Amino acid sequence: MKKVLFSLLLTLSTLAAFAQEQAAYAQYHVFPVLINPGCTGLDNKSQVLVNARSSWSGFPGRPNTYTVLYNGPVGDKLALGGGFFSEKAGDISTTKVMLNYAFRFKIEKVSIGMGLSTEFLSRKADAALLNDRLVDINDATLENLVDGQQIFDASLGVHLQYDDRFFASLAFPNTIRTRLDEVVVEDNGSASSAGRHYFFQLGYVLNVPNQNFKIVPSITVRNFRNTPSQIDINVQGRFLEDKLIAGLTFRPSTNGSAVCLLGTKINQLHFFYSYDLSFSSFQRYNGGSHEFSVAYTIPAKLKPTADAMIPGN
């Protein structure tokens, strides 16, 4: 029984580490730049974002993820971003440095952002795992992780918004993927795998100015490395000029799950908290997932040439 539990824990931790490589953010519809480099700088403001996520709280070896990200315009057409990602899942540690580049322009009522994200990732397992009697020291995957992996990855993204109402977002993670060490990585972003990993979101901003609130429904389809395809049905409400923000996400796939979101805006500061609850039997063994975000937005000094692109803003 102990060996089964250890194997389950190691498997979940390994899957979490690979899945979190693309980050399972629950608040991507509030800060889409976390997922899509095409959203870099598209609100014409510079922003510093700090995100912390604890998945499967109370479960041994649960993934804890931290992200710090900056993005903002450079001139009236270009935007740059950069950030740092760190995760500890069981005995596996992952760190990542990200650089985003985006070009933004407007055609009549359509505002468009096209972006590229380059990422340098390092993943390593604790060498003490090889001394555990429950571990097969001849396991090639585990030995590979203990030796460490260094990976270069690139992602493409585009974000469109029409008349400040309809918006669509499409991103292709792992478009280019290669190992920087001597070990050959499987599925390294070759032509046969390009396009299989994607993130697509479609939504609408319903503005009710006489009641001082907005409703933002959207649907998201995503398929990331080493994770099953997933559909998110989102609805977000913004009240009193973003003094109160509430959202709900329902995921009918993977036995079903839901995410509740609360947030507020105080001057240039944004605060968000979300809680994930799964409807699967695994929920009995953990307390759900918690995610916190704090963002500081600096108004642009340059005269904006493209409309704000963040849904609901």
Residue by residue, pLDDT tens for the chain (313 residues) are 444 444 444 444 444 444 445 557 999 999 999 999 999 988 788 999 999 999 888 888 889 999 999 999 998 899 999 999 999 988 889 999 999 999 999 998 999 999 999 999 999 888 777 677 766 666 666 777 777 889 999 999 999 999 889 999 999 988 888 888 765 545 444 444 555 789 999 999 999 888 889 999 999 998 877 677 889 999 999 998 889 999 999 998 767 899 999 999 998 999 999 999 888 887 888 888 999 999 999 875 655 444 445 555 5
Q: Where are the beta strands (DSSP E) in the chain?
A: 45-54, 64-74, 78-89, 92-107, 110-125, 149-162, 166-179, 198-204, 206-208, 213-223, 230-239, 244-251, 257-266, 269-278, 289-299
Cα–Cα distance between 145 and 165 in angstroms, integer? 46
User: Could you tell me if 33 and 69 are in contact, meaning their C-beta atoms sit under 8 angstroms apart?
Assistant: yes
Of the candidate CATH numbers 3.40.30.10, 3.40.50.1820, 3.40.190.10, 2.40.160.40, the domain formed by 2-299 belongs to 2.40.160.40
User: Could you tell me if 132 and 112 are in contact, meaning their C-beta atoms sit under 8 angstroms apart?
Assistant: no
User: Within a 13 Å sphere around the CA of 242, how many CA atoms are in the beta-carbon half?
Assistant: 14
* pLDDT at residue number 115: 96
Question: 12-27: buried (b, 16+ CB within 10 Å) or exposed (e) per residue?
Answer: bbbebbbbbbbbbbbb
Could you tell me the CA-to-CA distances from 63 to 79, 160, 261, 287 in Å, in that order? 31, 33, 20, 13
User: Could you tell me if 59 and 101 are in contact, meaning their C-beta atoms sit under 8 angstroms apart?
Assistant: no
pTM of the model: 0.82
User: Could you tell me if 85 and 49 are in contact, meaning their C-beta atoms sit under 8 angstroms apart?
Assistant: no
Running DSSP on this structure, what letter comes out for residue 72? E
Cα–Cα distance between 247 and 29 in angstroms, integer? 10
Cα–Cα distance between 249 and 251 in angstroms, integer? 7
* pLDDT at residue number 1: 43
Domain boundaries, the chain: 2-299
pLDDT digits (tens, 9 = 90+) for 28-60: 999 999 999 999 988 788 999 999 999 888 888
* pLDDT at residue number 10: 47
* pLDDT at residue number 17: 44
**Neighbouring C-beta atoms of residue 1, cutoff 10 Å:** 5
Give the chain's mean pLDDT. Answer: 83
